[in-house]
Each structure stands twice: as C-alpha cells, then as structure tokens.
Structure 1
Amino acid sequence: MDKGHRKCLVLWHRIQDWADLIVNFVKENGLEDSVMTVEEIRSGVESRGTELHGIDRTVLMRALKLLEHKGKLAIFKGTSADDEGVKFSL
C-alpha cells in the first residue's frame, strides 16, 4: 500500500523468489558476467516463455536490488528509466 492508500502491490511470488528466478534465468541462458537492460529482462527474446517476461517493473526492480545487495549484480542508471542496465556477476 502506498502512503496515500491508493495503490497496492499484489505479489504471487515473494521478492526472494523472483530474485531466485532471475538467477536461474541468468544461469540457464549463460548470461553470467553479462550486461542487459532492465527492459531486455522484462521483454527481450531471452525472457520469452519465462515468468520474467512481462514482469511488473516495480517487482523486477525490487528483486534486482535484493540481488545487488547480495553482490550478485550491479545496477547502472541511464539517462532514462528505459536505459537502466544490469551487470550480472554470478
């Protein structure tokens, strides 16, 4: 629920579960030590047919930030939200 009590975020996986899905996605696609944009993770060819394809951006960013906190990736800011990049280091 946001502070104004106008929006809420409903999750069908915990953020940790989404983070685990991201790690598995990276490993299964041989993307260790690779760089991708956030949009590529959400809607790229590699994510087609996975639960990550079309994931809500807020949920994805929370999972990515959790993985960043654990030292598994780095998030790079671009000039716009669509330019954000992720460097995996698994």
Structure 2
Amino acid sequence: MKVQLLTKTPCPKCDQLKMYLQYGLADKYKDDIEVVHMQESPEKFDELKDKHGVQATPVLIFGEKALHKCEPDKAEEFLRESLGY
C-alpha cells in the first residue's frame, strides 16, 4: 500500500513538502508515495478529500490515517511509521 499525497496548484506548502521529500530525504520514499493532484485527478482527489475531511493541502494519507499538518519533521515521522522504515 502506498502513501497518498494530496496536492494542488498553486500550493506553496505542497511545493515545500515535495522539495523536502525529494532533496531533504533524498527521494527515500519516492516509490512509496502516490501523488494525487487536484487538477490532474479531480475525482480521486475529491473522494479522498471528503473521506478524510481535508480542508487544505498538502495532506499525507495512509489507509485510514491522515496527516493534515505536513511540516517536514511530522511528514517524515508519518512516512516512517506508516511504511515501517
């Protein structure tokens, strides 16, 4: 199961999180994250948004868990706990 990253354009916090995942964590979780972009996959985005009560992006989702405040340290902890590494 992959972690889903809900994102949209424009979204400075989304861009910041994606940069951190790419450069700060050296793409460690790249293959384990599915990006769900509001403009590219609106139906899937809306389904996940409604299910998890998303009001702002970015959001990380794994199963029934969602991380709504995606500061870099919290995002890394969420990924580590969700994926087990």
TM-score by length of 2: 0.29
More strand by share: 2
